[in-house]
Amino acid sequence: MAYVAQRIVFSILSLFVLLFITFLLSHVVAGDPAIVAAGPNAGAAKIALLREQMGLDKPLLTQFAIYCGQILQGDLGTSWFTRQPIASDVLRELPPSLELVFIAMLINLAVSLPLGLLTARYAGSRFDDLVRLGVMAGAGLPVFWIAIILQQIVAGRWQLLPTAGRLGFANREFSGATGFYLFDSLAAGNMNVFLDTLAHLVLPAFALSLLFTAVGVRITRTAMIGEFRKDYVTLARAKGASEPRIMFRHVFANGATPALTVFGMQFGWMLGATVLVEEIFGRPGIGRYAVKAVTQSDIHAVVAVVFVVGVVFLLANLLVDIALYVLSPRKQQRA
């Protein structure tokens, strides 16, 4: 348990550091938000008034302290543009993005783990070369290009999947308590909406996952390849264990640890990379929201998005760490 507590404390510390750095950066980099917020025709008096209202006249550290205090109360500040609490914006925009990332991650894992394991086992074979080629292609193609091609061909020409949006026109009235339509529709027993949501997720999730899957296959292969050279594999062969048994019962559990750590990080990276896919497929989400906030110099919104993505990133890593801790018998016994 000491290990879990230590991981949690460490995560909170990382979060604080992250928050401070982004807060500082946005203050240093962005133009004067008061001028932007006041609009092009505002006079000096209006700008000064706004600056006071926004707390921009206070020292930087004070501003940061006030901001941290608000965050502890779940208040991410008020957008200078929409005049809405940012927390409610984030709660609205985050679920569609998380849903997208979740499905993309599933695709990633479903491809990376078996392919990584097989290429490690048959390293140097023609199969390995072929996968390597595919991985290079996957890693080399820009996400936006893949997204557009998929949209044009699979959705446009073949009409197999919807082109854009989160839900079809017939289901436009649907809403749920959590904002995760996959979950909400299941909870409501509405299979129609569930399948519609899923259909809208397939192409964007695939486009988003491609680059990450390419990395995932290589990471898994690297993690597994050393395991196959270890003597316990020789002993398992000498015991008469079949190749699938050696791969899944013996090698997988030992080689998965470093790979899973990377997958945990990928979850956070994906959330930060949703914008292109969301833009092309016309999906609401945290990525589009962030871009809008940046172009409008809406500093509190930018910092809030970075903060929330950071929280998700750290949470994903924390969960992976705890999962590995629980799954690893050796750590358990030492504690």
Residues that bind other proteins (CB under 8 A): 230-232, 234-241, 249-250, 253-254, 328-330, 333
Q: Are 50 and 58 in contact (CB under 8 A)?
A: no
Q: How far is the CB of 66 from other proteins (least distance, A)?
A: 49
CA neighbours closer than 13 Å in the CB half-sphere of residue 192: 6
CB nearer to other proteins: pick between 43 and 329: 329
Q: Are 225 and 258 in contact (CB under 8 A)?
A: no
Q: How far is the CB of 121 from other proteins (least distance, A)?
A: 10
Q: Which residue has the tokens 């339509």?
A: 181
Q: Where are the alpha helices (DSSP H) in 73-190?
A: 86-121, 126-140, 143-150, 181-187
Q: How far is the CB of 328 from other proteins (least distance, A)?
A: 7
Question: The tokens of 222 are what?
Answer: 């690297």
Nearest to 212 by CA among 110, 115, 139: 139
Q: How far is the CB of 228 from other proteins (least distance, A)?
A: 9
Q: Are 116 and 220 in contact (CB under 8 A)?
A: yes
Q: How far is the CB of 236 from other proteins (least distance, A)?
A: 7
CB nearer to other proteins: pick between 32 and 243: 243
Q: Are 139 and 214 in contact (CB under 8 A)?
A: yes
Q: How far is the CB of 222 from other proteins (least distance, A)?
A: 19
Q: How far is the CB of 234 from other proteins (least distance, A)?
A: 5
Residue 259 DSSP code: H
Q: Which residue has the tokens 């292109």?
A: 276
Separation between Cα atoms, residue 43 and residue 272, nearest integer Å: 37
Question: The tokens of 230 are what?
Answer: 């270890």
CB nearer to other proteins: pick between 170 and 323: 323
Question: The tokens of 60 are what?
Answer: 């930087």
Nearest to 143 by CA among 275, 283, 294: 275
Question: The tokens of 209 are what?
Answer: 């996952």
Q: How far is the CB of 190 from other proteins (least distance, A)?
A: 42
Q: How far is the CB of 278 from other proteins (least distance, A)?
A: 40
Separation between Cα atoms, residue 146 and residue 168, nearest integer Å: 22
Q: How far from the centroid of its chain's Cα atoms is residue 1's Cα?
A: 27
CB nearer to other proteins: pick between 140 and 240: 240
Q: Which residue has the tokens 């896919």?
A: 277
CB nearer to other proteins: pick between 132 and 230: 230
Longest dimension (CA), the chain: 85
CB nearer to other proteins: pick between 172 and 331: 331
CB nearer to other proteins: pick between 40 and 329: 329
CB nearer to other proteins: pick between 173 and 231: 231
CB nearer to other proteins: pick between 160 and 235: 235
